[in-house]
A and B are shown apart, each in its own frame.
Chain A
Amino acid sequence: MEEILLSIRNITKNFGEGNVLSGVSLDVRRGEFVTLLGASGCGKTTTLRIVSGLETPDEGEVILDGRDVTALAPEDRPVNTVFQSYALFPHMNVEKNVAYGLKVRGEDKKVIAARVKDMLELVQMSDYAKRMPAQLSGGQRQRIAIARALAPQPKLLLLDEPLGALDLQLRRQMQIELKRLQKKLGITFIYITHDQEEAINMSDRIAVMRGGRFEQLGTPEEIYDRPKTRYVAQFIGRSTILEGTVRCVGNETAVIENANGWFSVSAKDALLKTGQKAEVCVRTERMRASRTPLDVFGLPATVREVRYAGGSVEIFAAMKDGTEAVATSDQPLASAPKAGETVYLHWTIGQAAVIGGASYDA
């Protein structure tokens, strides 16, 4: 059964300096892990604050579990937030912080004590119950912030760049733990990050935001392999974007030509028509560079720089019209093409994405 837990519809918000959000709509299923991904200032935090009730939208509505909560105060919504700065109460110890949400709701003392114990066990912080937040490390504070937000058993947990302040090692570890926690508890997560790798690793679905709108909403695979816009293609992962005109469309493949030559893309998803302009995104790790021309196709380019990228070699090359491309080679650095050499860029046809999945009208 696929049930929608949260539905935000046509949310618009303006803080007096232009729209921060213009018509954002999103349905989140029960138990789903949805990530809002975008550069700073794209409106992701505002979206989250509107869901939590800390901000009221100018237009649009927030439906939670079938109930319109748009006008409800944050304390009346069964939604809790893990704040970016953790926002632990500095004058309360760990135990009191975690108990707070239950205490203000007037829960029984025994119930609170039991629940706090469970929560601290869940985040493996049982030994720290009496510590003050100032005595904890960043990662520990993070765990307490999560335990505190989970304690009142919210229907929906909002996380605002919860791992932003942690170093890379800890970040990776916490990503795995968070995901495990979410699966175990079956709680719906809305997660904010500007780290595309984090978004891809953790989410069921990602909403890429830009300028107060959703640029694309889809599974990590869809976002990565079939970017709808050039922005998404460039924001997620590394890629080379090739522009050209569709020359002919077959059942399986379509041929696109530009100043550098011609190349093929899969014609399956793309409703390409002969004569149209198209933008094609080829991921860096899927772009190959061959020293000799190939049977299929190969765009000639001059190698500018070769870099060792840990396990593989990255070849930076410029095509005739100046387009910069990055290709990956599995060869050892010593036998990889050298700067100044001519290489032929190619890829497996199905692995290049036509941006927008369809035509691109110039």
Chain B
Amino acid sequence: MTHKQQKERAQERRNTLFFAPMAVLAVLLVALPLIYVLGMSLTANDGSGFTLANYKALLRADYLLVFANSLKLAFYTTAVSLLIGYPFGYCMARAPRGWKSLLMMLVIIPFWTSALVRIFGWKILLQGNGLINTVLKSLGLIDKSIKFLGSYGSVLLAMVYCMISFMILPCHSAVDKMDFTLVEASRDLGAKPWRAFLDVTLPLTLPGIMAGCVLVFVPSVGIFYLSDIMGGGLVLVGNLIRDQLLKVRDWHTGSAMSVLLVVLTAGIYLIYRRCGGDDLGVM
């Protein structure tokens, strides 16, 4: 064995040493629970062994509708987040230094308080005798309080509010990393500002947009408590799973639903990677 090979071996051993704890954590915290849920979903309620019955039980029109509801809400959340988050991230990246850090603070600070608390804050603002209605009334714009809470819009607002950071950060990072000389080159060659954006900025920041969309869409499919707090009355996948696990106490069907949700999520991620998406180390 040459000296060089020995060195490489030693390096490999060191790498393994660094890797091991992370691998153990990943197995303990991610793989094992998932395998447990998977096993649960493939066994019968009465303990009689392997069965696909739990999955067959999901093939009900009302369940599928719930999945569709969740996907629809996640889609709208992603779309609205993108429409607001991309311009925000763009401006943040292009702003003068002082402004940049201020805007970054505005995005980061909400992370330090519980989402639940912040959503209750919105609820207070939006309720019948809340600040928004009061202001609108005193301005004479409306006579009667508007019933914000319970509307689809209020649920969407809460969803976007909680998720938008995950859109802003990758978009900001993509715009920040882009070489703006390219936009200047495009302008120099005769492109109007809007054209330069479409031809250069947009395609070059697309990886950030895609990452942002996945980061918002995937958790949005599973979140259900926001709809509950805002009184949306929507039945989402999350509600369904919670009810199965905690109310009906049918862990096996609940597990099957969870597995379906994980598969759906993984599918979205795979499509994203197939489309040339980066890994999501976007911060």
Residues of A within 8 A of B (CB): 52-54, 73-75, 79-81, 83, 85, 87-91, 100-101, 104-105, 148-149, 152
Q: How far is the CB of B187 from chain A (nearest CB, A)?
A: 4
Stretch among B35-43, B139-147, B199-207, B220-228 lining the A interface: B199-207
- Contacts A54-B184, A87-B184; is A100 near B189 (CB within 8 Å)? yes
The listed residue (A80, A85, A104, A148) touching B179 by CB distance below 8 A is: A85
Tell me the number of A-to-B contacts counted with CB atoms below 8 Å.
63
A80 touches B181 (CB 8 A): no
- Contacts A89-B200, A91-B203, A91-B204; is A104 near B181 (CB within 8 Å)? no
A54 touches B190 (CB 8 A): no
B187 touches A105 (CB 8 A): no
A73 to B189, CA, bound (A): 11
A81 touches B188 (CB 8 A): yes
Q: How far is the CB of B276 from chain A (nearest CB, A)?
A: 11
Q: List 13 interface pairs A-B (beta carbons < 8 Å), by A numbering.
A: A73-B193, A74-B187, A75-B187, A80-B188, A80-B189, A85-B181, A87-B182, A89-B200, A100-B189, A104-B190, A104-B192, A152-B189, A152-B190
B185 at the interface (CB under 8 A from A): yes
B173 at the interface (CB under 8 A from A): no
Q: How far is the CB of B206 from chain A (nearest CB, A)?
A: 9
B186 at the interface (CB under 8 A from A): yes
Q: List 4 other contacts, CB 8 Å, given A81-B188, A88-B185, A101-B189.
A: A73-B193, A80-B188, A87-B179, A87-B182
What is the 8 Å Cβ interface bit string for chain B, positions 167-203, against chain A (1 contact, 0 not)? Answer: 0000000000001011011111111110100011001
Which chain A residue shows the least CB distance to B195? A104
Residues of B within 8 A of A (CB): 179, 181-182, 184-193, 195, 199-200, 203-204
Q: How far is the CB of A283 from chain B (nearest CB, A)?
A: 38
A85 to B185, CA, bound (A): 11
Chain B CB within 10 Å — which of A54, A83, A104 has the most? A104
A52 to B186, CA, bound (A): 12
Q: How far is the CB of B178 from chain A (nearest CB, A)?
A: 10
B181 touches A83 (CB 8 A): yes
Q: Lowest 9 CB-CB distances: which A-B pairs, in order?
A: A101-B189, A87-B185, A104-B191, A87-B181, A74-B187, A104-B190, A75-B190, A81-B188, A105-B190
Contacts of A53 in B (CB 8 A): 187-188
Contacts of B189 in A (CB 8 A): 75, 80, 100-101, 104, 148-149, 152
Contacts of B199 in A (CB 8 A): 89, 100, 104
Contacts of B203 in A (CB 8 A): 91
Which chain B residue shows the least CB distance to A54? B184
A172 to B190, CA, bound (A): 31
Which chain B residue shows the least CB distance to A158? B188
A149 to B203, CA, bound (A): 21
Q: How far is the CB of B185 from chain A (nearest CB, A)?
A: 4
A80 to B191, CA, bound (A): 12
B190 touches A89 (CB 8 A): no
Contacts of A52 in B (CB 8 A): 188
Contacts of A74 in B (CB 8 A): 184, 187-188
B195 touches A89 (CB 8 A): no
Which chain A residue shows the least CB distance to B185? A87
Which chain A residue shows the least CB distance to B203? A91
Q: How far is the CB of A70 from chain B (nearest CB, A)?
A: 16
B185 touches A81 (CB 8 A): yes
Which chain A residue shows the least CB distance to B182? A87
B185 touches A89 (CB 8 A): yes
Contacts of B187 in A (CB 8 A): 53-54, 73-75
Chain A CB within 10 Å — which of B182, B188, B191 has the most? B188
Which chain B residue shows the least CB distance to A85? B181
A87 to B181, CA, bound (A): 6
B204 touches A101 (CB 8 A): no
A80 to B186, CA, bound (A): 10
A175 to B213, CA, bound (A): 48
Chain A CB within 10 Å — which of B181, B189, B190, B192 has the most? B189
Contacts of B191 in A (CB 8 A): 75, 100, 104
Which chain B residue shows the least CB distance to A77? B188
A141 to B195, CA, bound (A): 24
Q: How far is the CB of A188 from chain B (nearest CB, A)?
A: 16
- Contacts A54-B184, A83-B185, A85-B181; is A90 near B190 (CB within 8 Å)? no
Contacts of A83 in B (CB 8 A): 181, 184-185
Q: How far is the CB of B196 from chain A (nearest CB, A)?
A: 8
- Contacts A75-B192, A101-B190, A105-B190; is A90 near B204 (CB within 8 Å)? yes
Contacts of B182 in A (CB 8 A): 87, 89-90
A89 to B179, CA, bound (A): 10
A81 to B187, CA, bound (A): 10
